[in-house]
Structure 1
Amino acid sequence: MPHPYLDDPSGVVALAHRGFSRDGRENSMAAFAAAVDLGFRYVETDAHATADGVAVALHDATLDRTTDGRGAVADLPWSTVARARIGGVEPVPRLDELLGTWPDLHVNVDVKDARAVRPVAEAVERTRAHDRVCVASFSHARRRATLALLSRPVARSAGTLEVARFVAAHRLRLPAAAARALRDVDALQVPARQGPLRVVDAGTVAAAHAGGTAVHVWTVNEPAEMHRLLDLGVDGLVTDRADLLRDVLVARGTWR
């Protein structure tokens, strides 16, 4: 049985990457609200932790790029991070705030740092959001450490090493090894290409599906590429252009 996180009635998991914002206010509550207002049931976000153990929805390790604040999140207390403003306007959200504001919203959480492991798990536990959370990380060790602290399963996304092993085994025509590479995950969340290497094609999609693993592709912002990947049979798309992805899915008759 697939994890409830993956159970979308449309058959396509449409993920708004860091919410939806055309003015640089990524990972803000306003950006997540904009995605929800468009009708999105899924958003993607990132998680770091403050010095006093508060999980925040923020991509970068520092406040410098996206906010008017400065410094590494891990070195700052929540009281300081809370004063920073994304794009000079929006506050940095706590992860439990995001999970608690929309009780039906599915949230893909990329655990960016080992210090965020326990705070992320605590935010999921506090909001009882297990059925609508997917824990992702480039590090499978961070993902596993987060899962170990949870009282109930959440969906799991493959880390970099698992992806590399899967793609290598598939290219070498070793289906058993490809299946083993993904045995601990529910979703393969990958770019369509990694440098010169095509990660997502009909063969890799079929191989992932053979092992019961969903395929989500990031970050896809062009309608033609959205159509191409959906025609290959991928199960989900992560996009900065939630408006365009919605239009594509409406045109294909799969927007619910």
Structure 2
Amino acid sequence: MKLKSIVLSVCGSLAVFGMANASPLDTDPMLTLDNYSIPVGVKGAKIAKVISSCGSHCSHEISIEKDTAGIFTVDKHGAIALKKGVALKADSPVFVYGITIKSGCESKEFELVKDQFIKNKVIAHRGAWKNHEASQNSRNSLKYAIEIGCEASELDVWMTSDGEIVLNHDPSVGGKVVEDNTAADMATVPLKGGDYVTTLAQIIKDVKKQNKTRIVIEIKASLKSQERTDELTAKVMKLVHDMKAQAWVACYISFNYNSCLISAQMDPTARTAYLSDDKSVNDLKAINMWGIDFNYKMFEKDANLIKDAHAAGMTVNVWTVNKKEDLVSFLDKGVDYITTNEPEMLLDIIKEKKSK
């Protein structure tokens, strides 16, 4: 991957969020953009709006501090665009452009990515592992999800005893309880295909080597305390920002309601979805959830869920759908994403539908 650099600068005072039942974490809102992908072949393309850490009401002067590529501009309202007459070529090997933005006294680096991301609705549940020599939630399962052409690869994260973020679905793996062991301990647990239990940081490094497939990060609820879940959530959000990986994260999801609140408050532009079925579409819309993300049985109980979510401007993901007839049915119903253990089957169905 070739990398060019651009830097923007934004300065503003941080606001501290008040949140019911939340532990006293550093969950201040972060300086963000409302988009991180650059359209291909569009001269002077509009890319993103800068969202200050003190909210959209801030009136700090916004400027580009550094732009090594020399192709970006930002106006007084914080709108980032390609310079007049400039367009990205599809066949150029460069697909990542670094930026640093300044607003007031705050500066932050970002990476904008040439938008060649796949949009086919296929979310590989815990990666593509079932038909490959790969374990769930592994580097190999991500690799195969990328190779077969999924829109995104879903993964699950826990926090170790020493505060690191590692991948696994269940509370334990290889006889080790994740929350009771260090990251170094977990890294000794062997998986299929020569893999070992890995960290979210390593997965982010892997996914950033390409611009076709994104990741969906499920934040697991601690079995020890809500405070640990809150801490994990804040660490995930900060890690993604620190590694400038926002463009590669399709969505943050969790069964833990407070985790979703923290994600949405730390980064109001982040795509966030709540997995439990105890909230209505209107409830989720009210707390800035990007979409609904329910088990397929919920859609059988309420035939209006998809229509109601779309009417509210929300996306619809359904999980975990593995039977061919169900995959076809949800495609026909117009859901936006399908999470499945059978991504190859779903890709074949989509290909067959397009050929008709």
TM superposition score normalised by structure 1:
0.80
Name the structure 2 match of 1:93. Answer: 198
Looking at structure 2, the residues matched to 180 and 226 of structure 1 have their Cα atoms a distance apart, in angstroms, of 27
2:285 maps to which of 182, 191, 204:
182
Partner amino acid, structure 2, of 1:198: E
Contact 1:118 1:146 in 2 (8 A): yes
The residue aligned with 1:112 is 220
Is the alpha carbon distance of 1:237 and 1:200 closer, same or farther for their aligned partners in structure 2, counting shifts above 3 Å?
Answer: farther
Q: Is the 8 A contact 2:134 2:192 kept in 1?
A: yes
Percent identity over the alignment?
22
Identify the match of residue 188 of structure 2 among 76, 83, 105.
83
- Quickly say closer, same or farther: Cα 1:223–1:253, change in 2 above 3 A: same
Unaligned runs of 5+ in 2: 1-33, 38-114, 222-228
What letter is aligned with 2:238?
Answer: E
Cα displacement (A) at 1:11:
5.5
Q: Shift of the alpha carbon at 1:149?
A: 4.2
- The 2-side partners of 1:8 and 1:240 are apart by 24
Alpha-carbon separation, structure 2, partners of 1:200 and 1:24: 36
Compute the displacement of 1:19 (Å): 0.6
SS state of the match for residue 193, structure 1?
helix
Alignment partner for residue 241 of structure 2, among 125, 146, 149?
125
1:26 matches 2:136: yes
More displaced stretch, 135-144 vs 20-29:
20-29
Choose between structure 1 and 2: higher helix proportion: 1
State the 1:156 CA deviation.
0.7
Aligned to 1:191: 295
Larger Rg: 2
Q: RCO (CA 8 Å, sep 6+): is it higher in 1 or 2?
A: 1
**RMSD of the TM alignment (CA)?**
2.6
**Do the aligned residues in 2 keep the contact of 1:187 with 1:216 (CA within 8 Å)?**
yes
Q: Return the match for 1:222 from 323, 330, 333.
A: 323
User: 2:116 & 2:305 partners in 1: Cα distance?
Assistant: 22
Ranges in structure 1 where 5+ consecutive residues have no aligned partner: 64-68, 167-177
* Aligned residue-pair number: 230
Distance in 1 of aligned mates of 2:340 and 2:198: 20
Residue 10 (structure 1) shift: 6.9
> Are 1:16 and 1:241, in contact at CA under 8 Å, matched by a contact in 2?
yes
